């Protein structure tokens, strides 16, 4: 593979990435760095991973031609149906992979951070599946606004610990998970939910999510006689679903990659999560990337109606895709995303996660030729967002 856009051996994507971790974490991260590729390539690992993706997650997820949506936008739109996975989103592709890795490293206890709770649920799920102890860190504020996912995690046997520091949301839950890892360096494996964190996490998570683009290639050949769409559109918070949807297309510039960030109440409203525009180079959670911060280098709290997109940073690979121009970064406001979500319900009978609705909102901002093939990665389903939809559209 050419290597313009994938991680180099030290985990750098151009200027971004690396492992900016305190010495306390060095042995754990180093062990993972040395073993992750080798372990993932073992025949027995691949066999177990593929089997679980098929029988447990329900893969391959369909590549669905959205006829009525296509008519509306006068272009061929396919939806990659990650929303149909077990637990309702792409997140489980990664947690299955990481827990198999944790088992092979003989770890006994799993920790994870979660924002909206999707990654927490996906982690609690695989821990139940493997009979491993599971501790999920979640911001105190997120716990209050995502009660159903908290209940799911508890039903699945996880302990949910509120992160009470800082702004009490995803970034603080991540801080608490990292602190827990520092305090438990021997028996604990940290399952990070996105393409963020110190090397090798961004690359490892992208590899586990790369099943998405691998399947798109296979499925599109059958439907359109070509592996390559003209556009792939995915939403980006930390960026794991986009990393998976882009993975096998990164080096092929005929495929245009569109990343959609959450603009919240507007880019200049002070309540936004559009990191590529509002962020500056910096270090967050062990990775050099673009992040939202004050002039003084204090990390600021992002905002989006979608709890899965309000991360103040972005994965280092995405920072590189943005600055190199390989991917085009668009953004959608809360209002645009909510309308796009409702539109998909009405045209296709699919209720998308509000995160994924941001990707759909990009359709209205782009100019297409009628023959263009567009794949939108529908990263998750909207069941978890019903409360937000109901309040926003006043359905009650």
287 labelled catalytic: no
**Where do we find the tokens 């999707």?**
118
281 by DSSP, 3-state: which?
strand
Residue from 26, 45, 65, 73 touching another protein (CB under 8 A): that is 26
What is the closest distance, in whole angstroms, from the C-beta atom of residue 103 to another protein in the complex? 21
User: Cβ-count burial of 320 within 10 angstroms (0-12 exposed, 13-18 middle, 19+ buried)?
Assistant: buried
* Cβ proximity of 48 and 57 under 8 Å: no
Residue from 19, 92, 138, 319 touching another protein (CB under 8 A): that is 19
Q: Is 12 in the site for another protein (CB under 8 A)?
A: no
Q: Is 23 in the site for another protein (CB under 8 A)?
A: yes
What is the closest distance, in whole angstroms, from the C-beta atom of residue 288 to another protein in the complex? 8
Q: Is 293 in the site for another protein (CB under 8 A)?
A: yes
Alpha-carbon distance 303 to 228, whole Å? 34
CA distances from 208 to 50, 188, 194 (A): 11, 20, 11
216 by DSSP, 3-state: which?
helix
269 labelled catalytic: no
Residue from 63, 79, 299, 363 touching another protein (CB under 8 A): that is 299
* Cβ proximity of 278 and 267 under 8 Å: yes
What is the closest distance, in whole angstroms, from the C-beta atom of residue 88 to another protein in the complex? 30
Q: Quick one: 254 or 298, whose CB is closer to another protein?
A: 298
**Which residue among the candidates 82, 107, 113, 194 is catalytic per the annotation?**
113
Site for another protein, residues 266 to 285, rule: CB under 8 A: 280-285
What is the closest distance, in whole angstroms, from the C-beta atom of residue 204 to another protein in the complex? 18
Q: Is 296 in the site for another protein (CB under 8 A)?
A: yes
Question: What angle separates helix 211-224 from helix 201-209, to the nearest 10 degrees?
Answer: 30
**Which residue among the candidates 76, 80, 91, 288 is catalytic per the annotation?**
91
Q: Is 396 in the site for another protein (CB under 8 A)?
A: no
Helix residue ranges per DSSP H, 247-315: 275-278
The sheet carrying 109-114 orders its strands as 159-163, 133-139, 109-114, 188-190
Site for another protein, residues 146 to 185, rule: CB under 8 A: 165-166, 171-172, 175, 178-179, 182-185
Residue from 5, 16, 17, 18 touching another protein (CB under 8 A): that is 18
User: Cβ-count burial of 396 within 10 angstroms (0-12 exposed, 13-18 middle, 19+ buried)?
Assistant: exposed
Residues marked active site are found at 91, 113, 379
By CB under 8 A, name the binding residues for another protein.
18-24, 26-27, 165-166, 171-172, 175, 178-179, 182-186, 280-286, 293, 295-300
């Amino acid at each position: 593979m050419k290597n313009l856009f994938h991680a180099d051996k030290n985990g750098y994507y151009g200027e971004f990435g690396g492992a900016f971790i305190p010495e306390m974490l060095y042995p754990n991260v180093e062990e993972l760095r040395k073993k992750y590729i080798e372990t993932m390539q073992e025949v027995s690992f691949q066999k177990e991973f593929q089997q679980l993706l098929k029988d447990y997650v329900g893969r391959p997820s369909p590549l669905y031609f959205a006829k009525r949506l296509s008519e509306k936008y006068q272009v061929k739109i396919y939806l990659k149906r990650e929303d149909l996975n077990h637990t309702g989103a792409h997140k489980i592709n990664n947690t299955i992979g990481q827990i198999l890795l944790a088992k092979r490293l003989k770890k006994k206890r799993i920790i994870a951070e979660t924002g909206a709770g999707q990654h927490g649920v996906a982690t609690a799920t695989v821990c139940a599946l493997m009979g491993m102890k599971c501790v999920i860190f979640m911001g105190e504020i997120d716990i209050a606004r995502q009660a159903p996912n908290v209940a799911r995690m508890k039903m699945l046997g996880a302990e949910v610990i509120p992160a009470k520091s800082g702004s009490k949301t995803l970034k603080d839950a991540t801080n608490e998970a990292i602190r827990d890892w520092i305090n438990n360096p021997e028996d604990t494996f940290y399952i990070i939910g996105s393409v963020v964190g110190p090397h090798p996490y961004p690359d490892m998570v992208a590899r586990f999510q790369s099943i998405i683009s691998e399947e798109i290639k296979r499925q599109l050949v059958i439907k359109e006689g070509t592996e390559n769409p003209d556009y792939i559109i995915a939403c980006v918070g930390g960026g794991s679903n986009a990393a998976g949807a882009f993975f096998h297309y990164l080096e092929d510039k005929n495929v245009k990659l569109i990343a959609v960030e959450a603009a919240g109440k507007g880019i200049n409203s002070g309540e936004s999560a559009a990191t590529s525009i509002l962020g500056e180079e910096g270090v967050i959670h062990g990775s050099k990337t673009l992040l939202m911060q004050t002039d003084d280098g204090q990390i600021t709290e992002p905002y989006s109606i979608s709890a899965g997109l309000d991360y103040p940073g972005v994965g280092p690979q995405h920072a590189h895709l943005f600055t190199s121009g390989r991917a085009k970064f668009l953004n959608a406001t809360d209002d645009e995303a909510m309308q796009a979500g409702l539109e998909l319900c009405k045209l296709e009978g699919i209720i998308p996660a509000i995160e994924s609705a941001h990707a759909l909102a990009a359709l209205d901002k782009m100019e297409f030729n009628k023959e263009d093939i567009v794949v939108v990665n529908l990263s998750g389903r909207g069941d978890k967002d019903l409360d937000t939809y109901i309040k926003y559209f006043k359905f009650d």
